[in-house]
Amino acid sequence: MNAARLFLAATLACVSASAAPINTDTALPVRKGELLWREQVRFLKAEDATRDLEVIAAPSVLVYGFTEKFALIGITPYLDNSFKAGGVERGDHGLGDVTLLGRYQVFQLDRPGETFRAQLLGGLKFPTGRDDESESLGRLPQPLQLGSGSYDPLVGGVFTWQQLRWQVDFDVVYKINTEANDFRFGNTLAHDAAFEYRLLPRQLPERGVPRFVYGVLELNGVWAERSKLSGHDIGASGGYTLFVSPGLQYVTKRWVAEVSVQLPVVQELNGGQLKTDFILAAGFRIQF
């Protein structure tokens, strides 16, 4: 069931209204006074012969540019967790934990036809989602709860190199999970790399701003420590997962539509955890 929590650890994706990765952050700036809204639906499937896990996450993201270098990001996810085993289904749905992040540009180098940007980010996940839900079989296992019940800080960095037809992005985000309900999820380290290439139009027109189609290819990895219950390690928790994630984007001046599939290529998990079959993601971004 920890597949669901690793899935949620990787939803801090990029927030830009231009061509950008789908599951990776970007260091492209948000202009002062600009507001971006991103809506996405993500579906995770994991199953074996006796167990089935499905998670739907719909993170709503708002980004506001306070200055040319500093932006504030708020993320509120809607979650639907469903776990089936032995003919019994357990789960819950509703709003999850809210995350607030600040992102500050620390490096910029512009050349004709290209730019290099680097940003630092930091923030806190707040325990706004339900973390004590029970049903006929008793209290839900902590990985199936909508919230963790804990305040969890995050720190990271992002780098982008953009040229006229293509762009590469890298990010790394470390999340420190604290204890609540006598339970502590293991700390996570998410790392991502992405390449975006303009497929259409092949040649830019002399006048006007056309609409674009971009191909996106990403590598998205999440490593997690073992979780702890009453101070003791949980054997079937933690490990490392790496996805290869192809996708497509349709980009206009004010909005972006996108779709991606994440396929696991490495799943080194501790104990008898469910392994992820795939993750589907689709969404849009609007610039105000």
- Using one digit for the tens of pLDDT, what is the confidence trace for 153-183? 999 999 999 998 999 999 999 999 999 999 9
Query: Residue 135 class from Cβ within 10 Å (0-12 exposed, 13-18 middle, 19+ buried)?
Result: exposed
Q: State residue 10's pLDDT score.
A: 54
Radius of gyration of the chain (CA): 19
Which one-letter DSSP state was computed for residue 206?
S
Q: State the CATH class of domain 2-287.
A: mainly beta
CB 189 within 8 A of CB 171: no
Q: Residue 5 belongs to what H/E stretch?
A: helix 2-9
For 118, phi and psi rounded to 5 degrees? -135, 140
Mean pLDDT across the chain, nearest whole number? 92
d(CA 85, CA 137): 13
CB 24 within 8 A of CB 14: yes
* pLDDT < 50 positions in the chain: none
3 state DSSP class of 144: helix
Q: State residue 20's pLDDT score.
A: 81
Sequence-ordered alpha helix ranges (H) in 208-256: none
What are the residue ranges spanned by the domains of the chain? 2-287
Q: State residue 86's pLDDT score.
A: 87
d(CA 247, CA 256): 13
Q: State residue 226's pLDDT score.
A: 97
d(CA 32, CA 23): 24
3 state DSSP class of 143: helix
Q: State residue 253's pLDDT score.
A: 86
